[in-house]
């Protein structure tokens, strides 16, 4: 598979075209950013950890019946994926109150949410990824009602599978975001990544933070926390 041109450069990943129009390469960089790119640092080994972590999680989801864009790992930091027409709507599940939910509503951090909450956000860095509802998404053509229904169903399925996985490893899956796209056959497929960059994970006993909040909040030990999560799950690094 030949890597060709840079298609998109995100905060922590670069997407490249290949000689196959149906395949792309995801390159996981060591860049770590927060607050819409206002805080950026290079953290050694992070790209490698997130690449391997993402492939491990996506394999678990595939086994549970959730279609993903993963094809196969190419190297320590690169993965070949199926090309998708990405839907610019992020799906967020919250099992416990944290982050923006606490800031918006003034609730206590760590409060268990029953039922879990499901939210939609427009993927738009310039607008700081504003929260939207289904009517907005349909009215502005970002997604159809049918696509949104499927995305919600799949997101809740992911939550069920991964909550059990992390719980068995002594961790709480506090919240996470997912992105979906449409494949060549018109199917909704899970895309982008699942890593400690895009979710919150706490130790069940101590509630020690094991995710990118360590970077956001200046707690230090970011890569070490990611490695701990991977080791608890049995991700080969």
Distance (Å, rounded) from C-alpha 159 to C-alpha 224?
25
Tell me which CATH code domain 3-82 carries.
3.30.200.20
Mean pLDDT calculated for residue range 54-65? 98
pLDDT tens digit sequence for 100-132: 999 999 999 999 999 999 999 999 989 999 999
Give the relative orientation of helices 145-168 and 46-63 as an angle to the nearest 10 degrees: 110
pLDDT recorded at residue 69: 98
| β-bridge mates for residue 8, sequence order | 15
Average pLDDT, the chain: 96
Q: How many Å apart are CA 49 and CA 223, to the nearest integer?
A: 8
Report the relative pairing of strands 131-132 and 31-34 from DSSP bridges: unpaired
So where are the chain's domains?
3-82, 85-221
Is the predicted pLDDT of residue 140 greater than 80, yes or no?
yes
The CATH superfamily of 85-221 is ATP-grasp fold, B domain (3.30.470.20)
Per-residue pLDDT averaged across 178-200, rounded?
97
pLDDT at 25: 98
Q: How many CB atoms lie within 10 A of CB 111?
A: 14
Residue 37 has pLDDT above 80, yes or no: no
Query: Above 90 in pLDDT, residue 33?
Result: no
């Amino acid at each position: 598979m030949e890597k060709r041109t840079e298609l998109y450069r995100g905060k922590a990943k670069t997407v490249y075209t290949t000689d196959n129009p149906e395949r792309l390469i995801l390159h996981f960089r060591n860049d770590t950013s927060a607050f819409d790119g206002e805080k950026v640092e290079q953290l050694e080994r992070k790209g490698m950890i997130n690449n391997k972590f993402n492939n491990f999680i996506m394999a678990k989801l595939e086994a549970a019946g959730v279609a993903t864009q993963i094809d196969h790992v190419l190297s320590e930091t690169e993965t070949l994926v199926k090309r998708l027409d990405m839907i610019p709507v992020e799906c967020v599940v919250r099992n416990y109150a944290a982050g923006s939910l606490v800031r918006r509503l003034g609730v206590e951090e760590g409060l268990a949410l029953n039922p879990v909450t499901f939210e939609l956000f427009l993927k738009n860095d310039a607008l700081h990824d504003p929260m939207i509802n289904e009517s907005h998404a349909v009215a502005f053509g970002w997604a159809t009602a049918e696509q949104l229904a499927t995305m919600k169903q799949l997101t809740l399925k992911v939550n069920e599978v991964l909550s059990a996985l992390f719980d068995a490893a002594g961790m709480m899956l506090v919240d996470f975001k997912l992105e979906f796209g449409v494949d060549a056959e018109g199917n909704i497929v899970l895309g982008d990544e699942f890593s400690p960059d895009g979710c919150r994970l706490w130790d069940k006993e101590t509630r020690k933070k094991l995710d990118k909040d360590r970077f956001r909040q200046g707690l230090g030990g970011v890569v070490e926390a990611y490695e701990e999560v991977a080791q608890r799950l049995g991700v080969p690094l």
